Structure 1
């Protein structure tokens, strides 16, 4: 992330640039606004800090030009005391902040850091929105919790290195989506992504389907120079596991009809429905195959570990379902909100998506197993939803939430424990 610093005063520009450098912020000083504006593109990773009073092209013209190129690039205006009304007017039109001269350097640095973080989030959201439509499962990795931020960061990092990956996650968490994101962000993106559901592959057909025959090269061969995704790999028989081990170790397909082995250039991403270490202990999975597959492990957290992301995900799925069925996006009723915040979501994102469809179609709110919820459960879930809303407004501060709800801190803590709620999930970064 970079700061484009624009000021025609050479001494002041140099001093401010030194301030940013000391603070560890990358900076590009510009005396001419036009040279700086040539750097502004929709994917520009940075912000603009500009003086207002400059000959030829003032700060307002700079703001207008930046805004025209990308309205979400933060612009900070440096202004003398007499220009403050103009700076305030610019903020009303969308400027990020103004810094009145003379200013304290720590105030300038703090404001720029906020602007850089705002821009980082904008670019991150754009990237995610661009990737989501390409995901065949449409299970987006949406979320603001630390767990999801760490998962997205891990995917970005691992996509750039040629290592095999083992994805761990419960049913419905989106393991195939993670595999596809690893592929789409890698250097192999122009080649095939071949997904194989090992559980749906009968043992008597596995040999030909995976390794090929005289008439066809097989699915592993289809993935040459691309990515091979092996889902539910723990469903493979011992015989097929042995052949797969050879492919992983040598990157060669076994010879067919007396021919020679054929080299394949693969990146292998595998996922299992259960604990592979336990499967090895029970003799159901080869230990040497596990060691080959688990070069890097990526764990997808279940919804119950990131409950603060549930409302955001649900709104996304509501919009998706409303467009699919040609219905309006419904308002959330108390029973719906209550279930969102208390249901264990054993089916994870897939179950949440199904619930969004049911909500759009105005089907009764149920517990997902036994029919309509009893009154006591509806009341409990409603209370939990109210508590979650208070915690969100209070940014996870239990004392403030307790005051808003007119209950004691001890009483609120008791309810948090009863409903399995974690106040820390609602704290905002910074």
Structure 2
């Protein structure tokens, strides 16, 4: 039976923790200090569901890995038993697919491990406030059945776009989970190589249209008249809109469309209708539209090259993917994931798992990556071929990373490796509902400072520590904390 933790009045709000890890209960209890509450724990999903049936709690903290199954399965059952109880879903860092499923199943929020007590306390307060509002006004209640009915039976293959621990990527995962089940248009923004097409695939896979076709069209590949025919078709020849019936249509690089074609697309986004080329009457579109842009549409609106009404219609739900230089803490994860994808290369050389030297990791983590994930994978692929899949050394990367970049980093100075667009940095996190902006900014500033100083000293950490006015031990600790260098492995 679930155990009550600490005496409290019966009319206090109750919190149920479903987790077999006693440390999680301790963290939750500490986060609840100062909040009048009753807390109960359940060691597996069945005990948690029994507790909900016996005495419906006000807030539930649910772990994903339970002794008798997965939390996402329990979450689906929770919404059948108690559809109006907010659930804070706890999941391992970087598990984007699980986070998306949790949000699809109407989780109030998901919290990555290790739990951050101030964040946990803030979200519990918000969840309790919502619970009180629902109890005082029944019209605010909802049922979770609509979303849970579409839960996929098996997750999609994890893409680079779904690997990430940084707050900006956590916001992306959350946004996918919120919008995937809704039949609304989505605009994906971000620099080239940040994974926008992969995010479009994830939205399609997690939607109610996942069994339908996923049709993509790269708009810049056609002249405007031909593009119009490709998208709208004619009375006798179906276009991409009709091909995508029952599924999803992805319009890549929509920012480059001419004004005439923009005006013809407006009814599609606004009313779900379109007119075939040469047609006499509009037709209903049976597809969801996802638009992708790698350029800021605001500038084109100001210059008169993009219709403002289409811009605002497209912007009903926007997901912005951060560039790699703003998610440096994810680089070790992305490097490991990319190396796993490139397994056929080093397997050909009889290597079980290539190693990345400390100096090479530092070089990779301090590079600006103007080509983002695409560039990272290309660099690793070349290094694996050069070294026949063995240890990747800094010298192997130097020629590749020191060359003139084909793609220049957006909105950066000539010394862009060490600068940050603070307006975009802050806005991206504000849009994602952050409550750690100050800590994120300090981390970003320190990363850039350390990268600059280490570049000046040629990687000499003792010299860098002297310039910074800190001990070498403090510098090494910071570098490990920010994943700018791997933890010592004991290897020579």
TM band (smaller chain): 0.5 to 0.7
- Alignment partners' CA distance in 1, 2:483 and 2:287: 41
Pick aligned residue for 1:368 from 393, 400, 412: 400
- The Cα shift of 1:423 comes to 9.3
- Asked if residue 349 in structure 1 is aligned to residue 373 in structure 2, the reply is yes
- The Cα shift of 1:362 comes to 2.5
Contact 1:249 1:292 (C-alpha < 8 Å) held by counterparts:
yes
Deviation digits for residues 210-252 of structure 1 (CA, Å, limit 9, x no counterpart): 1012442100122223222211101222222121113222322
RMSD, aligned CA: 4.6
Task: Describe how 1:47-196 pairs up with structure 2 within 5 A.
Answer: 69=68, 120-121=91-92, 124=95, 127=98, 131=155, 133=157, 138-196=159-217
- Would the alpha carbon gap of residues 123 and 344 (structure 1) be closer, same or farther in structure 2, given more than 3 Å must change? closer
TM-score (norm 2): 0.55
- Would the alpha carbon gap of residues 245 and 384 (structure 1) be closer, same or farther in structure 2, given more than 3 Å must change? farther
- The Cα shift of 1:347 comes to 0.4
- Would the alpha carbon gap of residues 22 and 253 (structure 1) be closer, same or farther in structure 2, given more than 3 Å must change? closer
- Would the alpha carbon gap of residues 149 and 240 (structure 1) be closer, same or farther in structure 2, given more than 3 Å must change? same
Contact 1:172 1:347 (C-alpha < 8 Å) held by counterparts:
yes
- Would the alpha carbon gap of residues 147 and 360 (structure 1) be closer, same or farther in structure 2, given more than 3 Å must change? same
- The Cα shift of 1:27 comes to 6.2
Task: Describe how 1:256-405 pairs up with structure 2 within 5 A.
Answer: 256-324=277-345, 326=347, 327=349, 328=351, 329-362=353-386, 364-368=396-400, 380=454
TM-score (norm 1): 0.62
Kindly name which structure, 1 or 2, has the bigger radius of gyration based on alpha carbons: 1
Contact 1:165 1:270 (C-alpha < 8 Å) held by counterparts:
yes
Which residue of the partner structure matches residue 393 of structure 2? Answer: none
SS at structure 1 position matched to 2:469 = helix
Which residue of the partner structure matches residue 205 of structure 1? Answer: 226
- Aligned length in residues: 325
Q: Which runs of 5+ in 2 are unaligned?
A: 20-39, 51-60, 73-87, 101-153, 388-395, 405-450, 485-492
- The Cα shift of 1:354 comes to 1.0
- Would the alpha carbon gap of residues 255 and 316 (structure 1) be closer, same or farther in structure 2, given more than 3 Å must change? closer
- Asked if residue 245 in structure 1 is aligned to residue 266 in structure 2, the reply is yes
- Alignment partners' CA distance in 2, 1:34 and 1:295: 37
Which residue of the partner structure matches residue 239 of structure 2? Answer: 218
SS at structure 1 position matched to 2:15 = coil
- Would the alpha carbon gap of residues 384 and 214 (structure 1) be closer, same or farther in structure 2, given more than 3 Å must change? farther
- Would the alpha carbon gap of residues 275 and 223 (structure 1) be closer, same or farther in structure 2, given more than 3 Å must change? same
Q: Which runs of 5+ in 1 are unaligned?
A: 7-12, 49-65, 74-115, 388-401
SS at structure 1 position matched to 2:210 = coil
Contact 1:339 1:381 (C-alpha < 8 Å) held by counterparts:
no
Contact 1:224 1:264 (C-alpha < 8 Å) held by counterparts:
yes
- Alignment partners' CA distance in 2, 1:272 and 1:190: 26
Contact 1:195 1:231 (C-alpha < 8 Å) held by counterparts:
yes
